[in-house]
Chains A and B, each alone.
Chain A
Amino acid sequence: MPVESRFLGENPYFSGLGPPELDSIKHLFFEVRAERGEIILLEDELTDRLFFVATGVVKLFRVSAEGKEQTLELVRPGESINEVPVFDGGPNHASAQAMGPVLLYAISKNELEPILRDHPKVALNVVKVLASRIRHLVSLIEDLSFRHVIGRVAKILLEHAGDGARPGQRLTQQEMAAIAGTAREVVGRSLKTLEERGIIKLERHRIVVTDKEALKQVIDAKY
C-alpha cells in the first residue's frame, strides 16, 4: 500500500511541505512490514534506507562482545530509524527489531537526497531530528558512563523491599528510573546485571533479593 500524503505531512521530516509537494514525493516510499521479533536492521551491516514507523514499535539496540544487549531507544509511530548510515554512508549503528507487528515506509538514500536539495525545509527538519537524537543519546551515554546507576538501583531495592513481616513496596521500572535519576533502559540493564550476579531473581511481578549482603556491597562500591 502506498504511503499517504497525510502520514508524510505529520512526520517531523516533512513538516512544512504542502499537499502538492507531499504528493510529488510520496511515490518514492515503499512499504516494509515486520512481524514481532523480526530483525529489521543489523548493526554493522550496510543499509541505505531510511525507515518511518507507521504502526507498531521498533526497538533500537546494540549487543556487546559479551552478548549483553543495551536498548538505545524505542521508536514509535511517526518517528524514523537509520538516519546515521543513510547520511554518513557507514554501517548501521544499531540493530532494529519489531516489538510487535510493524508497518514502516522506507525511502532509499538515492531518492532522499534530491528531496533534501529541492526542499530546504526538509533539510532543516532533518537537522532538528538529528539534534534531538543526539540529545537523547548524550543523556544515555551520561547514564551509562559516568553515573553509578547500578548502586542506586540496588539502594532502591533495599529501601523498598519487604522482609516477610511487612509487604514490599511495589515499583515499576519507570518509577525506579525516576528515583535513580536515570533512564528506564538503564534500570532494566542494572536489574539484569544484578540477576546475572546472583544477587536478585526476577520472578514475573516480583524482584526477590536473594543475597542481601552482596546487594549492600553493590551499593557501597564506587563503580
Chain B
Amino acid sequence: MAEAPVIDCTKCNGCGLCVNVCAYNVLILVDQVVTIIEAEQCDWCANCEAVCATGAIACPFEIIIQG
C-alpha cells in the first residue's frame, strides 16, 4: 500500500484548503474531515501540510543514508 500523508482527524476543522491545493485529487472532505482516497497518486509535494492551519495533515519524510 502506498505511503500516504498522515491525518489527525481530531485537529481537522474541515476548511478544505488541503483539498483545494492538492493537484492529484488525493484528498476529499467526508463529513467535514479530510480523507485520503488516492494515496498512490500523492507525489508528496506537502502543499496540504503547508496550508493546514491546524496541523491536521502531515507529510513526513523518512531520512536515510545511502551507501
Contact = CB atoms under 8 A, between A and B. Distances in A.
A100 B63 contact: no
* Size bin of chain B's contact surface: 20 to 34
A55 B21 CA distance: 11
Interface in A63-122: 74, 76-77, 99-102
Contacts of B61: 170-173, 202, 205-207
A198 to B, nearest CB: 12
Contacts, number: 103
Contacts of B59: 172-173, 205
A100 B17 CA distance: 9
B3 A208 contact: no
A175 B62 CA distance: 13
Interface stretch (A4-12, A18-26, A128-136, A159-167): A159-167
B60 A210 contact: no
A74 B3 contact: no
Interface residues of A, number: 37
B37 interface: no
Nearest to B4: A205
Contacts of A55: 20
B58 A160 contact: no
Given A57-B17, A167-B62, A209-B63, A100 B22 contact: yes
Given A173-B49, A204-B3, A76 B17 contact: yes
Contacts of A207: 61-64
A6 B26 CA distance: 32
A57 B67 CA distance: 40
Contacts of A74: 50-51
A34 to B, nearest CB: 12
16 contacts: A36-B23, A99-B20, A161-B65, A164-B64, A169-B63, A171-B60, A171-B63, A173-B49, A174-B55, A175-B60, A201-B66, A204-B42, A204-B43, A206-B61, A207-B61, A209-B64
Which 3 pairs from chain A and chain B are nearest by CB? Answer: A100-B20, A170-B60, A99-B21
Given A169-B62, A209-B66, 15 more contacts: A36-B23, A56-B21, A57-B51, A99-B20, A99-B51, A162-B65, A170-B63, A172-B59, A173-B49, A173-B50, A173-B59, A174-B55, A201-B66, A205-B3, A208-B66
